[in-house]
Structure 1
């Protein structure tokens, strides 16, 4: 990677903006419809993009990590997120519903096998999908790895990250009564699902602000709140998943099942100073996954938009394009 990456804007490494050639609302059952789009080359190498959160959504910038002359890029908003409906709904919304949705999208679009690209929670979901459907996964490209473990949740919501950001942590923690501060995920859950829109929105903003402020190494805590509607969906869905331990059967489920992706090649792009998903998870994954190549990016945090992170992700996708035939694509 160019040593000057840290001094450049991330967009300098990305492909030009592009518009989708296909947009649709796909009925996935259980009362949910998910927004799906395709861009790039219609007969190109298929890659599905899994956004973060849970509760985030796909954005036009996510199209730009792939050469539009080479890749057929599929993006979608997960249940309850972005343009998917019903908005902010947690009904019939679990990890396994999302894995099923990914498969339905693949089948609906007539794709036999594809690459899977995801960051943060999107990396979690990519790994779970790959473990569940290794025969449909040609390669995994992961950023800011989160393995959905209690240790990771304790780091971010139990005081670990607060050691570096005490001022911002105070804002997140102090709106919860002292007698409930032994478990912030549960305390926020009570308020995010209380049925009072004003209360839900207030606590959603606080939840989202804590995470947004720590995402980029460049922001120094100035992540901002974002629109209230987005914050409410993001916070409710993320808290719902974390409150239920990602709906996995056991703590450490991903690493316990990583043998199922042993033959799938992958690239792990990880910021050295990621405060949301510390590098220990990415490193641990790389140690147990022989074909997963770890690329630690110095002077980088968690955000997809950071220059060093973007440069490595584009490099990874350009590299996989050169060996698509070997991957059966």
Structure 2
């Protein structure tokens, strides 16, 4: 039987943390205080987290920190790209760990969250007890070209045509930079038009089968503005990663238990990326899910993610009992 989400739960603590540079991030903690510590890293960049993400963890066994990364969700200033890089976010995660008062925690990241989780774990391997990674993304030129130039365009020509329609033909050879220029200049109203199309393209291609709820979220003006501005800001800067950096430095993760979950038909993040990570890191546990796309909510992906968080919590409980 496929595992599904735990029942809805309210956070036991909410707050904001001034991380400097004019940014204040929103965070919350859910589950049981003092239980197995974990941090959830949302996708995007710029996606924000949702209350449903709390339900990926057994609330009796976990104490989970969830937060909106700089510029998105309930963090402020909204849609800001100033002082907003991968390494700012890595530092923010460390600030939250210190705030939570834990030495180590499980790091759960999906999509862009997997990129950030790998970057954080490679920077602070002694602070990571386990990794649960879904929809592996490494911000390589090949991945960006696949999604925004040629690849997904062949699978979703109708949706890709809408994405390109707002850009003059002469600029379509570099769609990412064309959108980035327009999303960082002009009026907010003009930016929202572009942002909605950028966000809509992702919302309609992340699941194997159409999901109207997912598409509607991506069509919201405020969500789309942060999502599109931050994604293009990060991607034109290669997420502040050297080419192949996350694969190159995988040796820093030796000894950290890891579960990788990836949909066979993931459009934004082709499965070859997860395969390459696993080949470079064979002690990781890889699950390629048949009949699934990119979204964590797809049944096979969700089943494997919940099984992973359950297993790591039970291992932690057993270690405590024996210690």
CA distance in 2, matches of 1:198, 1:68: 41
Identify the residue that residue 72 of structure 1 maps to in structure 2: 63
Q: How far, CA to CA, are the matches of 1:238 and 1:170 in structure 2?
A: 20
Task: Give the equivalent residue in structure 2 for 1:264.
Answer: 256
**1:220, 1:133 → 2: CA distance?**
37
Secondary structure in 2 aligned to 1:79?
A: coil
SS in 2 for 1:234: helix
Q: Distance in 2 between matches of 1:81 and 1:236?
A: 10
Q: Which residue of 2 aligns with 1:324?
A: 316
3-state DSSP class of the match of 1:148? coil
Determine which of 290, 315, 320 is the counterpart of 2:307. Answer: 315
Aligned partner of 1:236 in structure 2 is 229
1:207 maps onto 2:217 in alignment: no
Deviation at 1:223, TM superposition (A): 2.7
The 3-state SS of whatever aligns with 1:28 is strand
Residue 85 (structure 2) pairs with residue 94 (structure 1): yes
Alpha carbon RMSD of aligned pairs, Å? 1.6
Deviation at 1:272, TM superposition (A): 0.7
Residue in structure 2 matching 1:292, options 284, 295, 306: 284
Moved more, 173-182 or 92-101: 173-182
1:116 aligns with 2:88: no
Once the two structures are superposed, residues 22-81 of structure 1 have per-residue CA deviations (whole angstroms, 9 ceiling, x without a partner) of: 100101111100001000010100010000000001111000011100000110000001
C-alpha distance in 1 between matches for 2:96 and 2:301: 28
**Aligned match of 1:137 in 125, 128, 134?**
128
Task: Tell me the equivalent position of 2:246.
Answer: 254
Query: Structure 1: where are the runs of 5+ without partners?
Result: 6-11
Please, which runs of 5 or more residues in structure 2 have no aligned partner? none
Q: Tell me the equivalent position of 1:50.
A: 41
Contact 1:271 1:279 (8 Å CA) reproduced? yes
Residue 326 of structure 1: how far off its partner (Å): 7.8
CA distance in 1, matches of 2:8, 2:165: 42
Moved over 3 A (4+): 325-329
Structure 2 Cα separation of the partners of residues 95 and 151 of structure 1: 19
Q: Distance in 1 between matches of 2:115 and 2:141?
A: 14
Aligned-residue offset at 1:190: 1.1
Corresponding residue to 1:223 among 191, 215, 219: 215
| 8 A contact 1:173–1:181 mirrored in 2 | yes
Partner Cα separation in structure 2 for residue 71 and residue 192 of structure 1: 39
* Residue 145 (structure 2) aligned to one of 154, 159, 167: 154
Find the residue that maps to 2:16 and give its secondary structure. strand
Q: Which moved more, 1:127-136 or 1:174-183?
A: 174-183
CA contact (8 A) 1:45 1:324 kept: yes
What TM-score do the two structures reach when normalised by structure 1?
Answer: 0.94
User: Which residue in the other structure is 1:283 paired with?
Assistant: 275
- Structure 2 residue matching 1:117: 3-state secondary structure: strand
CA distance in 2, matches of 1:167, 1:189: 22
Q: Counterparts of 2:315 and 2:251 in 1: how far apart (Å)?
A: 23
The 3-state SS of whatever aligns with 2:215 is coil
Measured in 1, the distance between the counterparts of 2:319 and 2:23 equals 33
